[in-house]
């Protein structure tokens, strides 16, 4: 645990009692704060009270009298589409609002660091797609070379649940826009921006607010190195804002699909080969095509970002390549579930938006595609250029018929509604050399509690048919 610093004797309120909220409450108490907690759900409140936490309804009048700080869990809106009643109360009372990420950055460094021969580092990864795989890949490579490393934030452990720093250690944080937008302190040593595509727009008041939330990691964080994906206009703009000139190697530009020119530092992948250039000279390369844990152009972009971050931490190209070689990938992200009868079964349940599903479709040929769910705003038009790879779509979800119609005439589609039916139909029709791909292009909440539960259902049904 990381006890929160400079809170001794203060009364601090915590709103939201999920994983991050409870870990924040414990870390605040360990730092000497008097902690008040609240959750909108009766179950969460009852569990907290059973553990001995003091409850206070933060939505009521006078709730913030004597309170020095409100700590908010990431799923709770603080501005758009409208602030939670408790947050509005705090702001009216002049009480600052923070989250567990802000508490971590203000508490991570301690006096013990004076005895270290090498300073601990924090690598923070954000972006719309690929940040989980990029974070996990950085973590894996660092472990493979024996560097003390922990993975936390939006993946792995809660950020305040990790162990205190040790000599030369690294913390890799995956950070969502919800986390970067609200954290009052946010100072990583290396910051990574993977890409930007429309998502969570209701929470950020549109695309500009969404980009602004991601940009805080760089503009306010002041990292020593910034790794920036430049395949979208926002990333290209961000890299330009951070660099003081063309040769500024504090910014490492990364791309999947285009060669990056210029005197600066860049890492890019083309036709399955990763290349590193610095001062207009190639200084490293990796053949990514044979690495099973990194299939497709979207994973090659993740590999470029992870490679650049590891290089910024001082690792050599061959060390990184060795770490890539045995990376198994993450569950629910281009995860190979089974290969039977010449048919490959791939679970990409994390492809919850159109852009991530499009990238999954580009990674394979001759696809039998399981898709559908709670459709997000923006429509399905961005999928149409990739439907030539799809032999047939098997559509699930409560609105499966409408989803199938919006795919248009470019894809044969069967309305299956449930995962059970979709997997059974794909199994009956798939031929050798084809891939059955779960890449829903939609949220899971019409049928499942999470994308993980959706992916687990897919795995269980595939396993039952192929074992």
The whole-angstrom separation of Cα 443 and Cα 353 is 7
Q: What is the DSSP string of 321-367?
A: HHHHHT---BTTBSEEEEEETTEEEEE-TT--SHHHHHHHHHT-SSE
255 among the known binding-site residues?
no
127 annotated as belonging to a binding site for a ligand? yes
Binding residue per annotation — 130?
yes
Please name the helix (run of DSSP H) or strand (run of DSSP E) that holds residue 451, with its range, or none.
Answer: helix 451-466
CA 301 to centroid of chain Cα atoms = 14
DSSP 3-state of 187: coil
Residue 128 assigned ligand-binding role: yes
Phi, psi dihedrals of residue 150, rounded to the nearest 5°: -130, 145
Cβ neighbours of residue 15 under 8 Å, at least 6 residues apart? Answer: 21, 37, 38, 39, 58, 70, 71, 72, 73, 76, 84, 86, 87
Q: How far apart are CA 301 and CA 411, in angstroms?
A: 27
The reply to whether omega before 81 is within 30° of 0 (cis) is yes
- Is 131 labelled as part of a ligand binding site? yes
Q: In terms of DSSP bridges, do strands 281-287 and 273-278 run parallel, antiparallel, or are they unpaired?
A: antiparallel
Residue 295 burial (CB < 10 Å; 0-12/13-18/19+)? buried
Q: Which residues are annotated as a binding site for ATP?
A: 127-133
Q: Which residues are annotated as a binding site?
A: 127-133
């Amino acid at each position: 645990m990381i006890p929160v610093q400079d809170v001794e004797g203060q009364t601090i309120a915590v709103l939201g009692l999920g994983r991050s909220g409870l870990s924040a409450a414990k870390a605040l108490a360990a730092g000497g704060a008097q902690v008040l907690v609240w959750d909108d759900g009766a179950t969460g409140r009852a569990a907290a009270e059973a553990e001995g936490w003091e409850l206070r309804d933060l939505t009521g009048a006078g709730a913030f009298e004597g309170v020095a700080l409100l700590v908010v869990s990431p799923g709770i809106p603080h501005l758009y589409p409208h602030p939670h009643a408790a947050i509005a109360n705090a702001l009216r009372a002049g009480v600052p609002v923070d989250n567990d990420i802000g508490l971590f950055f203000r508490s991570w460094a301690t006096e013990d660091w004076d005895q270290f021969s090498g300073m601990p580092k924090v690598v923070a990864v954000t972006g719309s797609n690929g940040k989980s795989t990029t974070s996990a890949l950085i973590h894996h490579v660092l472990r493979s070379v024996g560097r003390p490393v922990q993975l936390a934030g939006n993946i792995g452990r809660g950020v305040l649940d990790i162990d205190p720093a040790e000599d030369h250690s690294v913390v890799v944080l995956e950070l969502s826009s919800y986390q970067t937008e609200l954290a009052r302190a946010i100072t990583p040593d290396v910051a990574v921006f993977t890409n930007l595509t429309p998502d969570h727009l209701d929470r950020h008041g549109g695309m500009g607010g969404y980009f602004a939330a991601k940009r805080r990691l760089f503009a306010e964080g002041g990292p020593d190195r910034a790794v920036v994906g430049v395949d979208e206009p926002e990333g290209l703009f961000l890299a330009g804002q951070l660099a003081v000139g063309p040769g500024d190697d504090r910014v490492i530009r990364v791309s999947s699909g285009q060669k990056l020119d210029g005197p600066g530092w860049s890492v890019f992948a083309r036709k399955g080969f990763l290349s590193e250039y610095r001062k207009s000279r190639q200084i490293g390369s990796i053949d990514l095509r044979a690495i099973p844990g990194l299939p497709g152009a979207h994973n090659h972009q993740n590999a470029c970002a992870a490679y650049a971050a590891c290089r910024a931490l001082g690792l050599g190209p061959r060390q990184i390549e060795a770490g890539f070689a045995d990376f198994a990938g993450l569950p629910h992200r281009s995860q190979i579930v089974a290969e039977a009868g010449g048919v490959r079964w791939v679970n990409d349940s994390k492809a919850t938006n159109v852009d991530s599903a499009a990238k999954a479709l580009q990674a394979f040929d001759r696809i039998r595609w399981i898709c559908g769910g709670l459709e997000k705003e923006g429509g399905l038009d961005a999928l149409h250029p990739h439907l030539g790879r799809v032999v047939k779509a098997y559509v699930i979800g409560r609105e499966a018929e409408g989803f199938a119609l919006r795919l248009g005439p470019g894809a044969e589609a069967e309305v299956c509604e449930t995962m059970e039916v979709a997997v059974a139909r794909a199994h009956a029709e798939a031929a050798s050399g084809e891939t059955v791909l779960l890449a829903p292009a939609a949220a899971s909440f019409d049928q499942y509690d999470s994308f993980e539960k959706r992916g687990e259902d897919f795995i269980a049904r595939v396993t039952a048919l192929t074992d």
